[in-house]
Chain A
């Protein structure tokens, strides 16, 4: 291996940094969009044709842009938001815009799985729309939401590999610049193994959390 272990460690930390920060903001964005997509649809508690038909195509558009294109296409916006278009922090902006809409679709699916009867019971009790979301929809969908966020996190790890394009660093960047471009197969192998382990750990945590929440032993 032609790279020092310090480079690998830094790359792992960069990846974790990018994933966690963009997951945090992406999840906030995703939850807001996902919940809105559910409650404003036809026949739901806050049916609103206008809001739904604005958000729905926006989410679809953002989801259809390949991440590598999104990354460079929004450079002016990124610069406006975080003051720079290069580096790890700069990579977070497109990552959030990439993962947020993805999470919103997953959240939407999870919330739509909640039995309509539950919402009817909530309405019969006189629950307000906010209470229905907070006390009925989200708790009932929670195990499934955990799985959605797990899936999104793993998707995010894949996306961070491309962050190297804007000097974002991370494991993917090391694999390309040190491994691929310098024909260092060992470095490629090491980064891939680390990524595999990372994904395995996250998926297991997600699965066991979900099982625990559903009280399946």
Chain B
């Protein structure tokens, strides 16, 4: 468990004081895969570094498994750091050493006997799937393999906490997926609490159960991933959610609205969960005298639960369409009619916001 209590971090740059972290209150429970997302400069990197004291908080406290690390002696701190593994965006492995020697390093530093090192290193190497690469040098590995070495090195001291500093940001999407799967296994099989910072909402979507959104050194929103994805409150959070769940209305839908036709209405259905979504569409078609055209859909999965939106066109008399509308509202689905002009404006705004997220 990691607790940030009224934690503030300031940097002195020249004569000005820059507040990198402003009164952070956050609790990461044991067993969480906790994601912190934010633009560069939001302070997330500094935040993760206060956990193992790569950065010292200016005020407030950071408790790791109930212990405040700043109060420990150097020796106790060194001991405590074995309990906190860390992996990095650029891996930070020693090029002068083999995979085996890199992974063994934390054990060598703490004076573990050579005979005991061998077994422990082989074990973590086979966990990350690199048992046959032990004698290779770092330059001979691919990016994904390098991060696996990083993970093995972080796990070799059997920590209870793993800090991931943009661990997949230097990797391609395919490799990112495989590394995230490995991290998920670290969480499940070893019961290790993971705190990860990222600027990619996909990462949060794929493995986190809880998320905090940071902006200008503050945590602006926090909650479980399903909550945040389904009902983001802050504008920044909405932009991040938009970056992976595209529930905006495509231009082609607006094109159709330009021809005024009283017998057609377009709705955006937002839903969460297994039993909603498509069944509702077929029920509507059966129960009411309307035709249902699915114009656009986007469904993603969050912690095993389908989550997304469907844009449907209902064709029929105004009365039947209204009845269908009311029926859908009773089904725990958010329904909004898509209206031409204001929608288009909103859409353009959202698009530019998303570019901001990726830019």
Contacts and interface: CB of A to CB of B under 8 A. Distances in A.
A93 to B, nearest CB: 35
Given A124-B52, A127-B109, A135-B108, A118 B94 contact: yes
B94 A120 contact: no
Nearest to B157: A125
Interface string B76-105: 011111101010101111111100000001
A25 interface: no
Nearest to A141: B96
Given A126-B77, A139-B97, A117 B109 contact: no
Secondary structure at the B interface, as helix, strand, loop or mixed, is mixed
Nearest to A140: B96
A121 B88 contact: yes
Interface residues of B, number: 28
Interface string A126-139: 11100100011001
Interface in A99-126: 115, 117-118, 120-121, 123-126
A214 B242 CA distance: 46
A115 B106 CA distance: 19
B139 interface: yes
B17 interface: no
A135 B90 contact: no
A80 to B, nearest CB: 41
B88 to A, nearest CB: 6
Contacts of B106: 125-126
Nearest to A213: B96
Interface in A120-169: 120-121, 123-128, 131, 135-136, 139-140, 142-143
A125 B105 contact: yes
Interface in B298-313: none
A49 interface: no
Contacts of B81: 124-126
A215 B92 contact: no
Contacts of A117: 88, 90-92
Nearest to A142: B96
Given A124-B54, A125-B105, A126-B79, 4 more contacts: A125-B81, A139-B94, A142-B96, A215-B137
Q: Which of B54, B92, B137 has the most CB of A within 10 A?
A: B92
Contacts of B79: 126
Contacts of B90: 115, 117
B108 A121 contact: no
A131 B137 CA distance: 21
Contacts of B95: 140
15 contacts: A117-B88, A120-B92, A121-B93, A124-B52, A125-B105, A125-B106, A126-B77, A126-B79, A126-B81, A126-B106, A126-B110, A139-B96, A139-B97, A142-B96, A215-B137
Nearest to A116: B92
A127 B93 CA distance: 14
